[in-house]
Amino acid sequence: MMDVLKSLSVSLLMFPLLANVASAADKPNVLFLAVDDMNDWIGCLKTTPRAITPNIDKLASRGISFSNAHTAGVYCAPSRAAIFTGQFASTTGCYRNQIYFVNHPKLQPLHCSMHGAGYATFGAGKLFHHPAGQIDMRGWTEFFVRRQQQRETGWPMDSWSEETPIPQPYPNSIYNRGGQPANGFFLEWGKVPNDKEVEMADTLRTEWAISKLKVNHDAPFFLALGLYTPHFPNYCPKKYFDLYDRDKIELPPYKADDLDDLPEKIRTMKFHRSKIHQKLERLDAVKDAIHGYLACMSYADAMIGRVLDTLAAGPYADNTIVVLWSDHGYHHGEKGDWGKHTLWERTSNVPFVWAGPGIARGKAVDTTVSLIDLYPTFVEMCGLPKPDHALEGRSLAGTLKNPDQATDRDVYLPFMVPGAYAIINRNWRYIHYADNTEELYDVQADPNEWTNLAGNPKFDATKIRLRKSAPKTFAEPGPLLNRRRHLVLDGESFHWDADRKPTD
């Protein structure tokens, strides 16, 4: 195997400027706001439960909120790989934690396309997956991390490193009390002192993004801020917990026999996973866990609000496209799950809000869209050169300008292995697993996906029609690289060497 990406410098020699690209002065700026594991409980979508998110709601009121938007991958890494490359895992092989710029170094990611079109590109926080070696360092004018140690260890996010405030004692939640969380900080929640907010990683990232909005830019800018919250642990300042009355939190709808009509393999998997929910019920802690998640949604909203307020008060307010997205949703006991990694609505449905020039104001759109649509939308709206590789999404520029003319479509969501996927539209969710078992839900009549119709011959034609929207072929999974073995640190840079031996 080849030695990949010997240098992850900012060099863009492989992405030259094109003569037919419009003048940089004519291009809109882009504020690209990402949140992690935030489901569709934002206030403007009127869900149950509903988070207190006044800043996201305000953004939606001056732009467009898509209520039927879906992730492009069920893990952090494949979702973000799809967004930045414009290609699904079934094309790239990035189904789990594969790294697109290692396995496919010639793919031109979104931020490189921006840079090649004359944009100054600024990034901070969780835009890619968070472990060391995951940031695609090409094409950034500047990428922010908080500590020198991060630069010397492969640029991990380290959102909860030793200097960041966490509630004491640790573990703090009743779910983990008396032992260590089984998966790092999983199902940990707790209150950080309010005066420690300034020391939190997402606050520091937000401050850096704000600083970029306060300086003069000679070129249009692409400013990308990735917040780690509300990804677990659900630690945030006490004041965000205080926004909610724990006892008045509405629980999402549950159904005791929800798993009974699932295919055997997924039913068995979720039966074991449902033990998490059962433990929370025994501890009378379901509302506590959701309280922590809602509080962190409100903390994320506050950080977003600070950035948006700075934008509104400055010289770039009228010429900046703002987009807010979450990499995927999150289950809180629905269908026996806590987390993501499913093909159901709770994983797939995400906040997706746009505002700015060329975008209608105050519209809620329920036609089906995907995060894979981000890249082609920016190609059209920002005059970017089309990359050499195919983009698998659709531009939303027309819908953003004239939302009343939007038509529904099927969107595709790959799973963790080739041949497993969901096809989603406004009326149906069809799920196909690699062992050829199926699920089918009439999401208008059954929004909670409680009744699997796949075994009913009445719906055979519906399944056949939806299957036509799936890829005809699926790439094999790309190699998974080992950070200890294959990640090579070189001062403040790094590269991956797939052929490196442990003794090298």
Q: CA–CA separation, 190 vs 288, rounded Å?
A: 9
What pLDDT is recorded for position 5? 38
Asked if pLDDT for residue 214 goes beyond 90, the answer is yes
Looking up tokens 């630690």, which residue turns up?
A: 235
Domain count, the chain: 1
pLDDT in tens, 274-321: 999 999 999 999 999 999 999 999 999 999 999 999 999 999 999 999
Is residue 14 a part of any domain in this protein? no
Residue 13 belongs to a domain: no
Check whether 1 has a pLDDT greater than 80: no
Is 11 a member of any domain?
Answer: no
Q: Which tokens sit at 116? A: 């090649």
- How far is it, in rounded angstroms, from Cα 314 to Cα 392? 36
158 belongs to a structural domain? yes
Average pLDDT in the 487-494 region?
A: 96
> Backbone phi, then psi, for 494, in 5-degree steps?
-160, 160
Sheet containing strand 352-355, edge to edge, reads 142-144, 120-125, 221-226, 29-35, 320-326, 352-355, 63-66, 363-365
Residue 503 maps to a domain: no
Q: What is the pLDDT of residue 23?
A: 56
Residue 2 included in any domain: no
Whether the pTM exceeds 0.85: the reply is: yes
Looking at every residue in the chain, the average pLDDT score rounds to 94
**What is the full DSSP assignment across 13-35?**
TTS---TTSPPGGGSPEEEEEEE
**CA 262, CA 438: separation in Å to the nearest integer?**
8
pLDDT score at 6? 40
Residue 202 predicted with pLDDT over 90: yes
Asked if residues 287 and 37 have their Cβ atoms less than 8 Å apart, the reply is no
CB 92 within 8 A of CB 100: yes
16 domain-assigned: no
Q: Identify the pLDDT of residue 18.
A: 38
282: CATH: 3.40.720.10
pLDDT of 312-351, one tens digit each?
A: 999 999 999 999 999 999 999 999 999 999 999 999 999 9
Question: What's the mean pLDDT in 190-210?
Answer: 98
pLDDT over 90 at 14, yes or no: no
Q: What pLDDT, in 10s, does the model give residues 91-122?
A: 999 999 999 999 999 999 999 999 999 999 99
Task: Calculate what percentage of the chain has a pLDDT beyond 90.
Answer: 91
Residue-number span of the structural domain to which 415 is assigned: 24-496
Helices 201-213 and 286-313, packing angle to 10 deg: 20
In this model, does residue 13 exceed pLDDT 70? no
79: which 2 tokens?
A: 């979702």
Return all residues near 402 (Cβ < 8 A) that are at least 6 apart: 360
Question: Which whole number is the average pLDDT over 357-382?
Answer: 98
- Interval 218-261: pLDDT, tens: 999 999 999 999 999 999 999 999 999 999 999 999 999 999 99
Which active-site residues does the annotation give?
A: 76, 129
- What mean pLDDT is predicted for residues 51-72? 98
Q: Please report, in angstroms and rounded to a whole number, the separation of the first and last CA atoms in the chain.
A: 16
Residue 504 pLDDT: 56
